[in-house]
Structure 1
Amino acid sequence: MTDVMAGAEPFFMQGKGPAVLVLHGFTGTTQSMRYLGEELHRRFGFTVSGPRLRGHGTSPDDMETTGYLDWLASAEQALHELAGQGTKVFVTGLSMGGTLTLNLAARFPNIVAGAVPINGAAGIFDGAMAELVSDGAAPKRVPGIGSDIKAAGVKELAYQEVPVACLRQVHVLIAATESLLRKVSCPTLAIHSREDHANGRRIAQEVSSNDVRLLWLDNSYHVATLDNDKDLIVERCGRFISEIAGAAPG
């Protein structure tokens, strides 16, 4: 069994209100979502589950044995476990976790009561990255992509190198999810850093929900859940979930 890095462990907090699934990003860990999860539980009383996606929080060698179906399976398992408690389930996630959030919302509309993608990727790729994954002669590994954070002295727990095979896998996940956006019918709060390369406006425009909100973050980079706007994310995410859970039929 591959050892899990300290700080990358899954977490679960039982509450009395709605349940929230919080999903970390590509090559990242639960460390990036722990503050959001803990504060949603502490301030709002929600049940919170933060699973570790397969191949993450261990080693790049371990990650290289996984692909997008494994990452989806980790998220789906946690979603169904929360749904088994009989409460309304909401999903939020950072970066690829935001992509997974939208994917689950599209494919499990009878389970997901609301979606909150945070700097979620949904169909627009960085040109250099697209060239890399299209190059058959690309190296096996490239430098890590974590810790894109504006706040001084804050570091994301993420891999220092990335398997290119997994970069190809995440591109498939993003493209597939982009094609599913019209199937997202639940209330959606898209949170997007202005200084980021993700797809907040695209998400807000493409989902079919009648309740779509877009929150711009003015003081954070990509890993916004650890950045200067982390408390704003907690507050707006918590209010959104409370409002939707209270308004929806039991």
Structure 2
Amino acid sequence: MPVVPEAEPFRHEGGEVGVLLCHGFTGSPQSLRPWAEFLAERGLTVSLPLLPGHGTRWQDMQLTGWQDWYAEVDRELRALSERCGQVFVFGLSMGGALALRLAAKHGDAISGIVVVNPANKVHGPAAWTLPVTRFLLRSTKGLTNDIIKTGVAEIGYDRVPLHAAHSLRQFLRLLDAELPQVTQPMLLLHSAVDHVVPPADSARILSRVSSTDVTETVLERSYHVATLDHDAERIFQDSYDFIGRLAPSVGKEGTATTGG
């Protein structure tokens, strides 16, 4: 199936500092594209992949699981690590969970992580029935477009394939046990009101990781897809400043390249 317009992956060859961005469940790179472009314009090397099963039609996602999504970001991280001296990993929602697992597994290969409304569990009573209902129903109502800002829309599926939702639940349970292995500096930004991932998920993550350099920011003017909402510019700038603190060459004249 062809990729939906604007949901394509994005890559930019910049300087020696790289950033991998991971989009969310049933979403696409479009939700993080302005963030990726912001970083690229400031000379960073940027990779924003399209996760398997995403960006086409929800039926394609029914054939994928968390191992496929994680394998994609793991490959991108390894490629960035070969190209760059320092690498950071950013993520939104499930993308934040993928970023956290990369951090747990790759240690010092990752200089820092930035997560926005990261997911920690699949909520609601229906989550417990997924092992059975995924064989009875193919999909349920979608989760996209939780945004305050008018005139902005997230490109994502209007249906959630239950096979994939079950796989996500398995992944998040696995990740929760691995969170103590996360030791990198972390910037965690979460919305005060989020209709997809509650703030309790961020609190759980903060209580479980072993990172000692942690900044928590509450976003008062955005819902779940904060990277497309009123707080987007703050997220972009704070994440760039976070990189600048940990990668001193960033922002210094002559040390980063820019281009189209």
Range into which the TM-score falls when normalised by the shorter chain: over 0.9
Match of 1:147 in 2: 145
8 A contact 2:17–2:84 mirrored in 1: no
Residue 125 of structure 2: SS of its match in structure 1?
helix
1:241 matched residue in structure 2:
243
Contact 1:201-1:214 within 8 A present in 2 as well: no
- Please show how residues 62-141 of structure 1 align to structure 2 within 5 Å: 62-123=60-121, 125-136=122-133, 138-141=136-139
The superposition leaves residues 89-130 of structure 1 with CA deviations (integer Å, 9 ceiling, x where unpaired) of: 00001000000000000001131110111100124x422341
TM-score relative to the length of structure 1:
0.93
Counterpart of 2:246, as a letter, is I
Determine if contact 1:8/1:31 at 8 Å carries over to the other structure: yes
- SS at structure 2 position matched to 1:90: strand
Distance 2:151 2:17 in 1: 34
The answer as to whether partners of 1:151 and 1:228 remain within 8 angstroms in 2 is yes
Map 1:182-197; keep pairs closer than 5 Å.
182-196=180-194, 197=198
Match status 1:229 vs 2:218? no
The match for 1:37 is: 36
The farther-off stretch of 129-138 and 100-109 is: 129-138
Q: 1:226 & 1:138 partners in 2: Cα distance?
A: 35
| CA–CA separation in structure 2 for the residues paired with 1:31 and 1:128 | 30
* Structure 2: distance between partners of 1:129 and 1:80: 36
| TM-score, with length taken from structure 2 | 0.90
The match for 1:25 is: 24
Q: Select between 97-106 and 114-123 the one with higher mean Cα deviation.
A: 114-123
Aligned match for 1:201, one of 193, 200, 203: 203
Give 2:130's aligned amino acid: V
3-state SS of 2:27 partner: coil
Amino acid at match of 2:125: A
Equivalent position amino acid for 2:180 in 1: R
**Letter aligned with residue 240 of structure 2:** G
Aligned-partner Cα distance in 2 for 1:138–1:145: 20
**Paired residue for 2:5?**
6
Inter-partner Cα distance in structure 1 for 2:126 and 2:98: 20
1:135 shift after superposition: 4.1
Q: Deviations over 1:22-77 (max 9, x none)?
A: 110000000001000101121x3211100000110011121111100000011111
Report the Cα distance in structure 1 between the residues aligned to 2:186 and 2:101, rounded to whole angstroms: 13
Q: Which amino acid aligns with 2:110?
A: V
The Cα shift of 1:243 comes to: 0.6
CA shift in 2, pair 1:148/1:85, >3 Å:
same
Residue aligned with 1:127, SS: coil
Find the aligned partners of 2:78 and 2:44 in 1 and give their Cα distance: 17
Contact 1:24 1:96 (C-alpha < 8 Å) held by counterparts = yes
- Quote how far apart the aligned CAs of 1:201 are: 2.2
Match for residue 176 of structure 2 among 175, 178, 184: 178
Share of identical aligned residues, percent?
Answer: 39
List runs of 5+ in structure 2 lacking aligned partners. Answer: 250-260
2:188·2:215 contact (CA, 8 Å) conserved in 1? Answer: yes
In the TM superposition, residue 177 of structure 1 has moved relative to its aligned partner by 1.0
